Amino acid sequence: VKLTPRLTLIFILYAAALLSVVGVLAYSNGREALRSATISELSATAIEKQAALSEWVERKQLGIALLAAEPATIDSAAALIGAPPGSAEKQGAHDKFVRQIQPRVDGGEFMTIMLIDPETGEVIAATDPSEEGKFKEDRPFFISGKLGPYVQNVYYALALQGPAMTAAAPLKGPDGRALGVLAGRINLEEMNSIINRRSGLRETDDAFLVNTSNFFVTQPYLVADPAVLKREVHTEAVNRCLAQSSGTLEADDYRGIPALVVYRWLPEQKLCLLAKMDQTEAYAPARAFGGAVAAISALALLVAAVLAVALARSLTRPILALQDGVARFGRGELDTKLPETARDELGALAHEFNKMAASLLEKDAELRAYAGTLEQKVQERTKQLQESHAQLLRAEQIGQIGSWEWNIPEDHVVWSDGLYQVFGLKPQAFGATSGAYLKQVHPQDREFVQQSVGKALLERGTFEYESRIIRPNEQIRTIFTRGELLLDQDGEPARMIAVVLDTTQRQQALQALRESEERYRSLFENMLSGYAYCQMLFEDGKPHDFIYLEINKAFAKLTGLNDVTGKRVSEVIPGVQESNPELFQIYGRVAQTGEPESFETHIPSLGIWFSISVYSPKQDYFVAVFDNITERKHAEEALRLENERFVRFVDSNIVGIAIAEADGRIALANDYYLNILGVNRQDFLDDKVDWRKFTPPEWLLADEKALRELGERGICEPYEKEYVRADGTRVPVYIADAMLPGPEEQIAAFILDISARKRAEADILRITEELRRSNAELEQFAYVASHDLQEPLRMVASYTKLLQKRYQGRLDADADEFIHYVVDGATRMQQLINSLLDYSRVGTRGRDFVSTPSEKIIQEALANLEVAIEESGAKITCDLLPTVSADATQLTQLFQNLIGNAIRFRSEKPPEIHISAAHRDDNWLFSVRDNGIGMESQYFDRIFVIFQRLHTRAEYAGTGIGLAICKKIVERHGGRIWVESELDKGSTFFFTLPVQGRVDIRMIKGN
């Protein structure tokens, strides 16, 4: 085992070492050469790109500078700048300038060209109209472009959302004045194509530019998605390059794949130029070469190994054969023969060994034959004995049986193996006497066992008993013993033989049965459900009556029926056949078919609802188990009623009702609500209706406020909003919400369509407005009419008076009378017109309301009435009066008219007038009470109508306008006026004025 591998290993190791040194040297030389070549290639590419890029940028700079220097450009720009702003000329010059520069864009040299105001930076004109009006005042190309031609290196243009590059040059007029800055945005596709230009000889070579924001400026060849231009790149090479250095590197590229990278920092452009190639491709030839070297080496190694094994084998094979033979002999293979092929010392050794082995083999065979027969016999006998004993033991074990035999004279007991097992004993743990046996018996059973055995001894008979024993592990077992007494030749007791059976399990089973029965009996008696075991009686094959055979306690408790056992149901519940025929049908069916059934029924005579399960233990008999479910039935009924009420409540459609959730779902809605939204019920049932979508944006805030209020208080104040239907029409609604209990946080909403009310409100507003205008017109008319009528009338009155003065008594009597009538009529008409003017002035010439104490106003009025008061001897009294907000002049007139009337319409008694005021419902209620002639109630309204009089002018002077003016004044102050009076018993005039400010506490007490 040792020699062959050792020799082989030495040969192979030597060969392997030689081959690997040669192989590694060859591979690394090749790889290094490839690396240098690739780096040279990439560097050449980078230098070429850098040069091309610089040249391209210079060309662009020159391009914009040339364009800015062209006389045509300068002329059109000057025309544009010189034109007055906003003029058609300006527009024309603008269009001309754009046409002038447009070819440069069409030719692809620039993407956009623009003319920028040198002062403000505003774009005045551009080939891309969307650039016009923008400001470039802070852009480097503008700031530097003002001074001379300039190219702003690649930068991120916010509006383009990507890289951009712009060339700019100053545009100067013939006088050298700066006209503007001409800027052209460069097409980066050109730069892209310069950088992307590839030889096509390689697969994974790539060149690209990265700016200082780590953004790709040109599309890398190996990434197709242009979105890469909006992403940052943070490879090792990019990081080193952006640290403003150049070099080469073996590192992962932007795809995370190992690559060879040449990076160059381009200080002029502030860009990083990278050229790279995947290492797999660069080193592919080296790998191929390495593979070949490895394959050749492996082959050479294999040949060397085969040779090494063969050589080692030829040296060690004969020695190993001898060693193997001796070893086999030593293990007992005595017929082993060693090969005697070799003619050397090894051959002689083998020959002698073979001779010795042959004689040993012979002796060994004889001995074996003799020993074989002897052993066989012993084995057979032993086996028979074992089997017999085992059978007995197995029988006893299976039957849990044992037996004992008592030699009475010697008091020696012999136990079978099974008995030891029954008693849980080992054979030596038993004393083998009757006393020792008794010790195993349960103390409470010992006396009884002794008596049973003693009796058999005395009566010379058999015995059997059941007793308990205690096993050494204190387990109690029950055993059944049956025995017999055997007598000797003299008839004296000689031996007693008994068989013992372990009956513990049977006893336990019996006990369990007894307990089970007790349990069920207790369940039967204590269960809350009623139980009745009955026999069904049939008449003409139809169930007719039944007899209660057995019932439990709950039966009586649930039904209220006592002592029913043995009685018929028709006797116990009279009339039940008529009231509950189904009871008999079901019971009869179950009693006959044996199929159990359950049902609920109401027994009117008991006034109870039952839930009953019936089954049949045997033909014609049945058992009914039942519960009183009256309460549940009542609850169900109440619930049903509640539900019906709710449905009626919702479906009454007097108001829109919906139950909704904050996410827009509507759980329930009535027709009224759906009509408001203009959706049909099918769409609602298909869950297509989201309440939030019906609220126009301007009402969202109102909804939000309501939801917040809901969250805080559980309900929200009703508010007005609008819904917009799918067809665009709007519905004004009045809405209130309430939070419903429950985890869904549903909201009950009550919605009233107030379109009609809104329309009515609008109508009222409109009518009120019309009325107001018409009133104003009327007032104006009255004023104008009365004012303009005065002038001619004054002439009529003056000249008739003159006529009267000159010709009174100079014409005949008729003429005098006629003139008198004319004068009187004209005077009255003057009075009427003055009154009318006064009346109309209440509305048109009123003054602003100021806070005025009422006392002061009344004093004024009384002063004006001084003469009348004196003449009539009137007595005027006042209560405490408030300060009011009023037109003082008009209020004076009001009191003056009322007090004046009270004096004028006095009876024979001297007038007594009392003025008082009280606080009533935010108003002051004034009253002026007199003891004058009074009036009948039918005139109460008429007296306030203009020019209405109750008396002739002969009886009481006046034009009939006083109270009409009073009414107008009070109404102008926002109050009301009326009278209470009885003929010959005086009158009281009431009017109200709104309370202004705080109420004097004395006024309230005064009432």
Report whether 419 contacts 392 (CB < 8 A).
no
Among 6, 177, 198, 230, the residue binding other proteins under the rule CB under 8 A is 230
Q: Smallest distance, Å, CB 239 to other proteins? A: 10
* Residues contacting residue 888 through CB under 8 Å, at least 6 positions apart: 847, 850, 852, 856, 857, 860
Residues 96-125 that bind other proteins (CB under 8 A): 121
Among 55, 89, 137, 189, the residue binding other proteins under the rule CB under 8 A is 137
**Whole-angstrom Cα distance, residue 263 to residue 651?**
81
The reply on whether position 411 binds other proteins by CB under 8 A is no
Instruction: Indicate the residue among 237 and 485 with the shorter CB distance to other proteins.
Output: 237
Among 232, 459, 636, 763, the residue binding other proteins under the rule CB under 8 A is 232
The reply on whether position 728 binds other proteins by CB under 8 A is no
Bridging pattern class, strands 875-878 and 912-920: parallel
- Each residue of 209-235: b (16+ CB within 10 Å) or e? bbbeeebbbbbbebbeeeeebeeebeb
Instruction: Indicate the residue among 215 and 283 with the shorter CB distance to other proteins.
Output: 215
Neighbouring CB atoms inside 10 A of 955's CB total 10
Q: Smallest distance, Å, CB 54 to other proteins? A: 20
Q: Smallest distance, Å, CB 215 to other proteins? A: 7
Neighbouring CB atoms inside 10 A of 634's CB total 11
Q: Smallest distance, Å, CB 683 to other proteins? A: 20
Q: Smallest distance, Å, CB 234 to other proteins? A: 5
Q: Which stretch binds other proteins (CB under 8 A): 153-161, 302-310, 332-340, 569-577?
A: 153-161
Q: Smallest distance, Å, CB 99 to other proteins? A: 22
- Here's the x/- map for other proteins, 595-624, by CB under 8 A: it reads as ------------------------------
Instruction: Indicate the residue among 188 and 833 with the shorter CB distance to other proteins.
Output: 188
Please state the φ and ψ torsions of residue 111, each to the nearest 5 degrees.
Answer: -85, -40
The reply on whether position 135 binds other proteins by CB under 8 A is yes
Q: Smallest distance, Å, CB 676 to other proteins? A: 21
Q: Smallest distance, Å, CB 242 to other proteins? A: 10
Instruction: Indicate the residue among 138 and 631 with the shorter CB distance to other proteins.
Output: 138
Instruction: Indicate the residue among 697 and 809 with the shorter CB distance to other proteins.
Output: 697
Q: Smallest distance, Å, CB 138 to other proteins? A: 6
Q: Give the residue ranges of DSSP H helices in 625-733.
A: 630-651, 671-677, 681-685, 700-713
The reply on whether position 243 binds other proteins by CB under 8 A is no
- Here's the x/- map for other proteins, 253-292, by CB under 8 A: it reads as ----------------------------------------
The reply on whether position 725 binds other proteins by CB under 8 A is no
Report whether 444 contacts 468 (CB < 8 A).
yes
**Whole-angstrom Cα distance, residue 516 to residue 871?**
125
**Whole-angstrom Cα distance, residue 847 to residue 849?**
7
Residue type, 144: S
**Whole-angstrom Cα distance, residue 69 to residue 173?**
9
**Whole-angstrom Cα distance, residue 409 to residue 495?**
8
**Whole-angstrom Cα distance, residue 479 to residue 504?**
7
Q: Smallest distance, Å, CB 130 to other proteins? A: 5
The reply on whether position 159 binds other proteins by CB under 8 A is yes
Report whether 201 contacts 273 (CB < 8 A).
no
The reply on whether position 235 binds other proteins by CB under 8 A is no
Q: Which stretch binds other proteins (CB under 8 A): 33-41, 82-90, 229-237, 315-323?
A: 229-237
The reply on whether position 156 binds other proteins by CB under 8 A is yes
The reply on whether position 138 binds other proteins by CB under 8 A is yes
The reply on whether position 565 binds other proteins by CB under 8 A is no
Instruction: Indicate the residue among 200 and 697 with the shorter CB distance to other proteins.
Output: 697
∠ at Cα 385 (381, 387), nearest 5°? 115
Among 91, 130, 388, 593, the residue binding other proteins under the rule CB under 8 A is 130
Q: Smallest distance, Å, CB 724 to other proteins? A: 11
The reply on whether position 956 binds other proteins by CB under 8 A is no
Among 103, 108, 133, 604, the residue binding other proteins under the rule CB under 8 A is 133
Report whether 619 contacts 593 (CB < 8 A).
no
Q: What is the dihedral of CA 991, 997, 998, 999, to 10 degrees?
A: -10
The residues facing 980 across adjacent strands are: 988
Q: Smallest distance, Å, CB 135 to other proteins? A: 4
Q: Which two tokens stand for residue 514?
A: 């007894």
What is the gyration radius of the CA atoms in the chain, in angstroms?
Answer: 67
Among 59, 234, 394, 953, the residue binding other proteins under the rule CB under 8 A is 234
Tell me the helices (H) and strands (E) count for the chain, helix number first.
28, 31
Instruction: Indicate the residue among 211 and 981 with the shorter CB distance to other proteins.
Output: 211
CA quadruple 85, 90, 95, 100: dihedral positive or negative?
Answer: negative
**Whole-angstrom Cα distance, residue 30 to residue 37?**
11
Instruction: Indicate the residue among 138 and 345 with the shorter CB distance to other proteins.
Output: 138
Q: Smallest distance, Å, CB 745 to other proteins? A: 19
**Whole-angstrom Cα distance, residue 678 to residue 694?**
10
DSSP letter assigned to residue 204: S
Terminal C-alpha separation, the chain? 138
Residues 747-786 that bind other proteins (CB under 8 A): none
In three-state form (DSSP H/G/I as H, E/B as E, the rest C), the secondary structure along 854-914 is HHHHHHHHHHHCHHHHHHHCCEEEECCCCEEEECHHHHHHHHHHHHHHHHHCCCCCCCEEE
Residues 893-952 that bind other proteins (CB under 8 A): none
The helix or strand, by DSSP H or E, that contains position 526, with its residue range, turns out to be helix 504-526
Q: Which stretch binds other proteins (CB under 8 A): 151-159, 197-205, 571-579, 617-625?
A: 151-159
**Whole-angstrom Cα distance, residue 758 to residue 212?**
67
**Whole-angstrom Cα distance, residue 563 to residue 298?**
110
Q: Smallest distance, Å, CB 213 to other proteins? A: 3
Q: Which stretch binds other proteins (CB under 8 A): 226-234, 811-819, 875-883, 927-935?
A: 226-234
Q: Which two tokens stand for residue 695?
A: 């609220």
The reply on whether position 697 binds other proteins by CB under 8 A is yes
Q: Which stretch binds other proteins (CB under 8 A): 224-232, 794-802, 846-854, 880-888?
A: 224-232
Cα within 13 Å of Cα(959), Cβ side: 20
Instruction: Indicate the residue among 154 and 650 with the shorter CB distance to other proteins.
Output: 154
Instruction: Indicate the residue among 46 and 272 with the shorter CB distance to other proteins.
Output: 272
Please report where in the chains the tokens 């004024």 appear, as a residue.
860
The number of residues that bind other proteins (CB under 8 A) is: 22
The reply on whether position 134 binds other proteins by CB under 8 A is yes
Residues 182-221 that bind other proteins (CB under 8 A): 211-215
**Whole-angstrom Cα distance, residue 562 to residue 550?**
12
20 exposure class (CB count in 10 Å sphere: 0-12, 13-18, 19+): middle
Specify the 3-state DSSP secondary structure of 773. helix
The reply on whether position 329 binds other proteins by CB under 8 A is no
Q: Which stretch binds other proteins (CB under 8 A): 128-136, 346-354, 629-637, 773-781?
A: 128-136
Q: Which stretch binds other proteins (CB under 8 A): 225-233, 867-875, 888-896, 980-988?
A: 225-233
Which chain residues interact with other proteins by CB under 8 A? 121, 130, 133-135, 137-138, 155-156, 158-159, 161, 211-215, 230-232, 234, 697
